[in-house]
């Protein structure tokens, strides 16, 4: 069986989150109408970030590290990436996944942060 490219897999998670929002959450004006799907999309996009970061930091296996571990690791590598991660965590994991915040601007910014973090990983792992 062919091994999956973690960066492509991470991008797929974020694309799936966009699809969930577009097809299931139903945006009217500026707000999504179904918090259940907002929560699902936030979790999906955040998982994509973790897939990419696990590649970058060489994390193997099924278990996830604590959010503080990721923050500590990023703090030693790139302060901007750390800020992007904290922003993505707040937007995707807390506001969307836990709180079900239906404001589409929250989702848009969270997905942008996910894209930025995955691109950051992709640029640093391209020669690997």
Note whether 70 and 53 are within 8 A (CB).
Answer: yes
pTM comes to: 0.93
Q: Please tell us whether the domain made up of 6-125 is placed in CATH 1.10.1240.10.
A: no
Backbone conformation region of residue 61, classed left if phi is above 0, alpha if psi is from -120 to 50, else beta: left
Nearest-angstrom CA–CA distance, 34 and 26:
7
The pLDDT value given to residue 127: 56
Domain extent listing, the chain: 6-125
Give the model confidence (pLDDT) of 6-40 as tens digits: 999 999 999 999 999 999 999 999 999 999 999 99
Nearest-angstrom CA–CA distance, 108 and 69:
26
Give me the helices (H) in the chain, please.
Answer: 6-20, 35-57, 67-77, 79-88, 104-125
What is the DSSP-derived secondary structure letter of residue 30? Answer: T
The pLDDT value given to residue 1: 47
Give the model confidence (pLDDT) of 31-67 as tens digits: 999 999 999 999 999 999 999 999 999 998 777 789 9
């Amino acid at each position: 069986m062919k091994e999956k490219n973690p960066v492509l897999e991470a991008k797929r998670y974020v694309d799936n989150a966009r699809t969930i929002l577009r097809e299931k959450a139903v945006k009217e004006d500026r707000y999504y109408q179904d918090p259940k799907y907002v929560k699902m999309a936030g979790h999906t996009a955040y998982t994509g970030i973790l897939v990419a970061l696990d590649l970058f930091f060489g994390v193997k296996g099924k278990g996830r590290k604590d959010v503080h571990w990721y923050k500590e690791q990023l703090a030693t590598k790139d302060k901007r990436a750390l800020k992007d991660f904290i922003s993505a965590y707040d937007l995707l994991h807390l506001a969307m996944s836990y709180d079900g915040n239906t404001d589409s601007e929250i989702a848009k910014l969270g997905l942008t942060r996910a894209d930025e973090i995955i691109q950051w990983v992709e640029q640093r792992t391209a020669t690997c």
